Amino acid sequence: MTGEEDRIKNVKELMSGNEAIARGAYEYGVTFASAYPGTPSTEITEVFSRYNGGYAEWSPNEKVALEVGIGAALAGAKAMVVMKHVGVNVAADPLFTVSYTGTNGGLVIITADDPSLHSSQNEQDNRNYARFAKIPMLEPADSQEAKNYIKSAFEISERFDTPVFLRATTRVSHSKSVVALEDPIQREDTTSIRHNRDKYVMVPAKARIRRVEVEKRMEKLGEFVDTFSENRIEINDPDVGIITAGMCYNYTKDVFPQYSYLKLGMVYPIPVNLIREFASRVKKIYVVEELDPFLEEQIKAMGIEVTGKKIFPYTGEFDPGIVETAITGSSQNTFNFPVSIPPRPPNLCPGCPHRGLFYVLGKLGVFVTGDIGCYTLAFMKPLEGLDSCICMGASIGMAHGMSRALKDKGKGKIVGVIGDSTFIHSGITSLLNTVYNQSNAVIVIADNSTTAMTGMQDHPATGITLQGKKTKELDFVSLASALGIENVRVTDPFDLKETELVMKEELGRDGPSLVISKGLCALLQSKQHEKITPLRINPDKCTGCKLCLRLGCPAISWERLEDIDVTIQKKTKKQKGIAVIDSSLCNGCSLCDQLCNFEAIEEAQGNE
Amino acid sequence: MNNTTRSILLAGVGGQGIIRASDILSLVMIEAGYDVKKSEVHGMAQRGGCVTSHVRYGKKVYSPMAKKGDVDILVSFEKLETLRYLDYLKPEGKIIINDEEIYPPSVNLGEVEYPDNINELIASHFSNPKVIRASEMALKAGNHKTSNSAILGALSLYLDIQTNFWESVLRNAFSEKILEANLRAFNFGRNA
């Protein structure tokens, strides 16, 4: 061992679960990763791509990412495919059949679930996919385990010729804890072309044979899981036993260190003999798990009496207090302050290109089928410019369906809005459908030239890869024209008049229209433009009409006349206050200036 | 070192440098020989929403999140956010408040009022909340983005951690260009 290696063995680092998964994949010699960004999974692929020697890509969506990963695994690579929980829905089609074919190389699918819907449209429990698709699943409890388990996942994949799930939850992905670093193993090139049509061509005759192999594999995994060292029994007080996995183990250990534990590292299949052994050594058993009674139902089916969802919530993520309250039955110490606290929801940034578009849509009073991205926030007051959000890509299909169902009643009143990255993810086929089945809905691509919500990831239309290399750039106008859309318009959302005019024209037309509302994400503007000129409101001109406040810009606020230090001449009898721009927040987008009827908005001078 | 896990909760608004501050705090605790876990939520919260970060340290830490009523120190980067997370604090817990108001959308729209006298209200329920003016310290330090270092400086007085641990972590945390301003802000906070 060289001195260098010796040193790294002793290095400990504070890492998020996501960083640790990336590190573990690197240490284990994983050379291939594909993903679509999605909170809380995004950083895994970003961090992995920065390690030397591997290939990593943003695929256009999770289904493509998984298919890319399957291809790499069949070629003999160790491939990691990364997505958030709802991404697995998108990838479900290849998922269920790669379970039949097996993987040749290593194939690990990371599903980052989001109990409590911190950044998601649902809180589905993806452990169900493991059972549904007959794919083993590991679930780490902290960053050190995340790093260890990604290696175990690949070992299991390679040994049993199966895809393997690694399930993280938001709290594992985004909490940080101490991780011991190790050297990466020597990478070998394991790739080659190996024809095996019996195994990989899933026509009915072949798939029936593989179907039997899947059950044989599950049987072998069932034996293996009883010996898997990450399923472990900790016997303390034998009166109470806890069966748990993932972050719930930490919550429970935190409040009940004295109890006995069966801590599962692999949550599917479950270790039947180990569970029976544990049950024989403790009296009362609680199953502590967030979301569905996934372990509980399987353990009860074994004829073992346990307490689970009878006392624990079905919904939301847990914390130590929730676990303690459920088991002791006592209520949490909550301090209620005698003041109502205004909520602080997330908001579109100052200078966001979506603000102008949704201001116009809200004003037009149309029904806007929305999609997944920052712009979903436009449903809130005061913009109220978006009426639905179901899943990635839903806006276009829904706008078409609604327009078809409403017939004349919906004419000129239905708009589907989708972001650029979301459009590429799953809007292209539904846009084609609006042409094929002749829709009267107007579709808008809110193109801010990035995947903003998840933190500025590139995509095919930015022309830059995950590795920062230039590539062929997708052109939405040519794409739309190739799909057969005759009315394609490009507008500037920072120009309210033009946006309103174009929307009105397109809503007045028969047949499908596409409007590309093109304005750079505010967070990219500050990176790319050297100089931004913030605005201010001239208090001597502001009449307090509040029109600019209707933009919901975080930089603009309302001040009552009595709260202002200097005396301000009232412009009208009714004037109660003035609008104020915080020049340190203002991006100078000028929307408020375009709305103001009193020329009260001007460029902020030097020291503002 | 006894087995008690101690919890610090940092709360404020997206963009105030809370995550960075909690990273620094965690690294200091590791330098001082503790096991550390910390937790926050990314994503939607970045867009001007509430941001909290739990930092827990001790001999062996299990949960990265504290339960309600169990936080030792609440460090609030914004006055209103102090109120929102008071229920996490132990009855005898300590509070550090940055004397800054950032209006949420409903206040900006003039629909609801930003609560008056927050500092006084808190002082009537908890003993000796420490109020600091981090923005002023940051400006005095020469960089308005160093408020979070000033707040960490104020927090450092409540923790039994040698100053050299703070200094070595801070020196690694910032680029040369902004390091001196951050160290100055930290010291203003510590001497406040």
Q: Which of residues 233-272 of A touch B (CB under 8 A)?
A: 247, 249-251, 253-255, 257
At A531 the pLDDT is 75
- Pair of tokens at residue A574: 């009714």
Decide if A332 and B121 are in contact by the 8 Å CB cutoff: no
Whether the predicted pLDDT of A338 surpasses 80: no
Average pLDDT rounded to a whole number, residues A148-161:
98
What digits encode the pLDDT tens for the residues A452-480?
999 999 999 999 999 999 999 999 999 99
Would you say residue A556 lies in a domain? yes
The Cβ-side half-sphere exposure at A58, using a 13 Å CA radius, reads 31
Residue A306, domain extent: 232-328
Given A183, A207, A225, the domain boundary residue is A225
Residue A4's pLDDT band, with cuts at 50, 70 and 90, is very low
CA–CA gap between residue A27 and residue A47 (Å, rounded): 13
Q: Are residues A89 and A183 in the same domain?
A: yes
At A66 the pLDDT is 98
Collapse the DSSP code of A398 into the 3-class scheme (helix H, G, I; strand E, B; otherwise coil) and give the result. helix
At B14 the pLDDT is 87
Q: Are residues A472 and A503 in the same domain?
A: yes
Q: Are residues A45 and A114 in the same domain?
A: yes
At A186 the pLDDT is 87
ipTM (interface pTM):
0.95
Q: Are residues A184 and A53 in the same domain?
A: yes
Residue A53's pLDDT band, with cuts at 50, 70 and 90, is confident
Q: Are residues A498 and A545 in the same domain?
A: no
Q: Please check whether residue B169 touches A, CB under 8 A.
A: no
Q: Are residues A31 and A129 in the same domain?
A: yes
Given A225, A243, A270, the domain boundary residue is A225
CA–CA gap between residue A244 and residue A534 (Å, rounded): 53
To the nearest whole angstrom, how far is the Cα of A435 from the nearest Cα of chain B? 34
Q: Any idea which of A2-16, A155-169, A180-194, B82-96 has the lowest mean pLDDT?
A: A2-16
Number of domains comprising chain A:
4
Mean pLDDT over the full length of chain A: 95
Q: Can you give the length of chain B in residues?
A: 192
Buried b (16+ CB within 10 A) or exposed e, B58-91: beebbbbbbbbbbbbbbbbbbbbbbbbbbebbbe
Closest residue by Cα to residue A455 from A79, A18, A14: A18
- Domain holding A540: CATH number? 3.30.70.20
Q: Name the phi and psi angles at A226, rounded to 5.
A: -70, -20
At A1 the pLDDT is 38
Would you say residue A397 lies in a domain? yes
Given A480, A505, A528, the domain boundary residue is A528
Would you say residue A347 lies in a domain? no
Mean pLDDT over the full length of chain B: 92
More confident residue, B103 or A133: A133
At B42 the pLDDT is 60
Whether the predicted pLDDT of A549 surpasses 80: yes
More confident residue, A565 or A217: A217
Whether the predicted pLDDT of A606 surpasses 70: no
Would you say residue A31 lies in a domain? yes
Q: Are residues A368 and A478 in the same domain?
A: yes
Q: Which residue of A85, A290, A341, A581 to mutate against B (max B Cβ within 10 Å)?
A: A341
Decide if A348 and B63 are in contact by the 8 Å CB cutoff: no
Residue A532's pLDDT band, with cuts at 50, 70 and 90, is confident
Would you say residue A346 lies in a domain? no
Would you say residue A336 lies in a domain? no
Would you say residue A305 lies in a domain? yes
Q: Are residues A369 and A468 in the same domain?
A: yes
- Domain holding A464: CATH number? 3.40.50.970
- Domain holding A261: CATH number? 3.40.50.920
Q: Are residues A192 and A106 in the same domain?
A: yes
- Candidates A14, A332, A342; nearest CB to B30: A14
Decide if A39 and B43 are in contact by the 8 Å CB cutoff: yes
Q: Are residues A191 and A163 in the same domain?
A: yes
Q: Are residues A464 and A561 in the same domain?
A: no
At A188 the pLDDT is 85
What digits encode the pLDDT tens for the residues A85-124?
999 999 999 999 999 999 999 999 999 999 999 999 999 9
At A2 the pLDDT is 42
What digits encode the pLDDT tens for the residues A245-283?
999 999 999 999 999 999 999 999 999 999 999 999 999
To the nearest whole angstrom, how far is the Cα of B78 from the nearest Cα of chain A? 12
Would you say residue A333 lies in a domain? no
What structural domains does chain B harbor? 6-191 (3.40.920.10)
| Helix, strand, coil percent content, chain B, rounded in steps of 5 | 45, 20, 35
Q: Are residues A218 and A281 in the same domain?
A: no
Is A461 in contact with A424 (CB distance < 8 Å)? Answer: yes
CA–CA gap between residue A535 and residue A300 (Å, rounded): 65
